[in-house]
Structure 1
Amino acid sequence: MIPLLRELFFNLCLLISLHYVLRFTFRSWPIARRGWSHTLRLAAFAAAALILLLFPAHVAPGVVVDLRAVPVAFVTLQFGPLAGLLVALPTMGYRVWLGGIGLYAALPSLLGVILVTSLLRRHLPVMGPLFWRSWPGVIAIFLINGLPLLALPDGLDLFTQAYPLLLVSNVLGALAGWGILSERFHMLRLTSQWRSAALTDPLTTLGNRRQFDQDLDAMGPGDALLLVDIDHFKRVNDTFGHRAGDEVLQEVARLLEREGRGRDRAYRYGGEEFAVILRDVTGDGLSRVAERLRTSVAATPMRATGQHLTVSVGGAAWAPLPTRQLTERADEALYAAKHGGRNQVRVWGIWLPSRAQETGQPPPSPLQG
């Protein structure tokens, strides 16, 4: 009994150490469930299970026990039974190669753990700050591990000798190892939330100026920038109050997101001004998207005021120059739109027909670019 206890304790310490290493395979939130990073993570868990099998506790000739089921159960719990089976296959193959009478208990035990975990995974949210509350489910997962020992010759003696220690070790190993991973998940989730809050405008939930500056630096050929300014926004605040003004900003933000294409992104640029980065615009795509945004706002009555508002839009296509100059070009186009009568689109380098022309106002002179 003492040698078995000593070997299982070493296996438990090894399991905890391996989980501390495995935590570094999770690097972002939400956790990727496909791609090379996911494949390499599953390979790491498979290697951990195999390493645990290399240092087992010996019960009888040909019969060994260890905590290989813990990483397999975790993968099954988080990524599903197919992933759990894939992680278990190398360990099962090595166990078949080792042979011995214990093989007939080892394989059913591991497959049983995968089956039970699959049945419980929808009802066992073990990953989180209150992970420890899931201990009854953890016990349920490993109850089947070792039961097939009863089917071996002298099975009752083998079961009595190994099963209680194996169950306790599995449960303690899962609580300790999965607790390490749970803390990692919790940290990644909080970091993601803090990063999102740092890059999101709290009023409109659009990207804020910091996010805009990051995405602006990532622009390339085929991209374009729009600056959108609400016309006479001060009148809204003066007439209806700042709360109504905030609601108008939220409504305009929703319209910009709705009317943009899926690959485009809108931002709260500052005050009543918004920015939109367009990706892969070709031909007159920049003009058409900008005009669609303008007409959508003009045609939609604001719920907060019951009135129609208009916006002026200035745009500039990406060029191989500093991002500051790209912003200056879009800002020049916006300035021309506002001083040319508002409620119109201007693109740096060309003049576009707009609402000003439709109402008979003299067209502003084109910007030269």
Structure 2
Amino acid sequence: MGMVINQFFINISIIFLLMSLTFYVMRTVLPIQPSSPLFVRFWFGVSNGLTAILLTLNAIELGDARIDLRLIPIALSATYAGPFGAVVTLALIFIGRMTLHGMSAPFVDSILMFVVLYIFSLLLSRVPMHRSRGYTVYVGFGALLVLIRVTGSVDAMVFVNVFIPYFLMLSLGAWLCYWGAKKLETHLWMFLLHTHRATVDELTGLPNRYRTLEQMNDLEMSGKPWTLLVIDVDHFKQLNDTYGHLAGDAALRHIGQTLERHCPPGGFVGRYGGEEFLLVIEGCEQAKEVAESLVETVRHTTFECQGEVIPMTVSIGAAVAGHEPSMVVFERADEALYDAKRNGRDQVRFA
């Protein structure tokens, strides 16, 4: 009894481990669902297929019988990735079974189970159903197929000693794995959401101050030459007072999108705060041309609000990074920015 329980939890641990790795690797494409991109559903099916093969290799021994819990990854794949995910998982199980056991494996039975489970997943995908209920139906249907398969082929004693423990372990394992998958998916989704909110400016969609300074620090540590542009929207308070804060927000989005579109390859742009943006250029050879081009581009890019064309310009302070810390470079660029504003705005000044 103790050995069976030990094998059961080894199997559950295998499922949890591969499921955790799968969700973590796919964390940027969550939630995984039947409408997810094809490559997402494919790799989710592959992961569950590999899990099922490992479960087969680590089958639980009940007397002379060997049982496995591969119905769980099949149900997970069908529930999350739909019929396509299910067929990928089933195909991998079939290939693994033929590879491990050759033609001595029950070939016809495997093909029949493959077809029946796939057709069932197609039919169930057309029925509007909560994911947890769909998962329960998949597990129950798989258990029913196993029951049909063993009925009449084993005596009553073997049935009681093997199928009933199998059904109990399958039910408990299926519940544990679905609960774990749901919690893991929710945790990773919330983590990505909080990471996004902590690093992205909600108004413009650009990296916020924290993320931009972090990128500057990374560039400083790399030892590569780089140039910092501190960009300030001219007369922004006047625009806010005249047209309102909604127009001011739209203007900041407009400037952010313009800077992002014209950011040179290898560089990055972020919002530092208020009407101030930072743009970093790797290298320093083209810095002057890039900065002057940005000033001219903003000047000639039309911004409309409330049916009126509003002229917009920016002032830029630039500093080429030497061996000093990034914040020292920022202070020099910021001083150059104020020099540009004192001298009439709509221009570039280098520190």
Q: TM-score range by the shorter chain?
A: 0.7 to 0.9
Q: Which residue of 2 aligns with 1:345?
A: 348
Question: CA 1:196 to 1:262, structure 2 compared with 1: closer, same or farther past 3 Å?
Answer: farther
Which has a greater percent of helix?
A: 2
Q: Which residue of 1 aligns with 2:149?
A: 149
Q: How much has 1:313 moved relative to structure 2?
A: 1.6
Counterpart residue type for residue 210 of structure 2 = R
Match of 2:16 among 20, 25, 36: 20
Q: Which residue of 2 aligns with 1:293?
A: 294
Counterpart CA distance in 1 for 2:188 and 2:127 is: 20
1:268 aligns with 2:271: yes
Match of 1:67 among 65, 69, 83: 69
Q: How much has 1:266 moved relative to structure 2?
A: 2.4
Q: How much has 1:66 moved relative to structure 2?
A: 2.0
Contact 1:72-1:88 at 8 Å conserved across structures = no
Q: Which residue of 1 aligns with 2:28?
A: 30
Contact 1:72-1:87 at 8 Å conserved across structures = no
- Residues 293-332 of structure 1 correspond to what in structure 2 (within 5 A)? 293-299=294-300, 300-303=302-305, 306-332=309-335
Q: How much has 1:272 moved relative to structure 2?
A: 1.0
Q: Which residue of 1 aligns with 2:216?
A: 216
Counterpart CA distance in 2 for 1:170 and 1:238 is: 66
Q: Which residue of 2 aligns with 1:177?
A: 177
Identity over aligned pairs, percent: 26
Which range moved further: 160-169 or 260-269? 160-169
Which range moved further: 224-233 or 9-18? 9-18
1:239 aligns with 2:242: yes
SS at match of 1:227: strand
Which range moved further: 314-323 or 68-77? 68-77
- Supply the RMSD in Å over aligned alpha carbons: 4.4
Question: CA 1:318 to 1:88, structure 2 compared with 1: closer, same or farther past 3 Å?
Answer: farther
Which range moved further: 228-237 or 217-226? 217-226
Contact 1:226-1:330 at 8 Å conserved across structures = yes
Counterpart CA distance in 2 for 1:239 and 1:10 is: 73
Which range moved further: 9-18 or 203-212? 9-18
Question: CA 1:75 to 1:320, structure 2 compared with 1: closer, same or farther past 3 Å?
Answer: farther
SS at match of 1:218: helix
TM-score by length of 1: 0.69
Which range moved further: 14-23 or 303-312? 14-23
Q: How much has 1:144 moved relative to structure 2?
A: 7.5
SS at match of 1:226: strand
Counterpart residue type for residue 30 of structure 1 = T
1:132 aligns with 2:132: yes
Counterpart CA distance in 1 for 2:189 and 2:148 is: 40
Question: CA 1:168 to 1:292, structure 2 compared with 1: closer, same or farther past 3 Å?
Answer: farther
Q: Deviations over 1:142-192 (max 9, x none)?
A: 268537837x9x64869x947787567545533321321221111011011
Counterpart residue type for residue 70 of structure 2 = R
Counterpart CA distance in 1 for 2:90 and 2:347 is: 58
Which range moved further: 228-237 or 14-23? 14-23
Contact 1:204-1:249 at 8 Å conserved across structures = yes
Q: How much has 1:75 moved relative to structure 2?
A: 5.0
Counterpart CA distance in 2 for 1:123 and 1:259 is: 46
Counterpart residue type for residue 334 of structure 1 = L
Q: Which residue of 2 aligns with 1:359?
A: none
Q: Which residue of 1 aligns with 2:34?
A: none
Q: Which residue of 1 aligns with 2:231?
A: 228
Contact 1:109-1:147 at 8 Å conserved across structures = no
Counterpart CA distance in 1 for 2:109 and 2:66 is: 8
Match of 1:253 among 252, 256, 275: 256
Contact 1:227-1:334 at 8 Å conserved across structures = yes
Question: CA 1:171 to 1:256, structure 2 compared with 1: closer, same or farther past 3 Å?
Answer: farther
Q: Structure 2: give runs of 5+ residues left out of the alignment.
A: 31-38
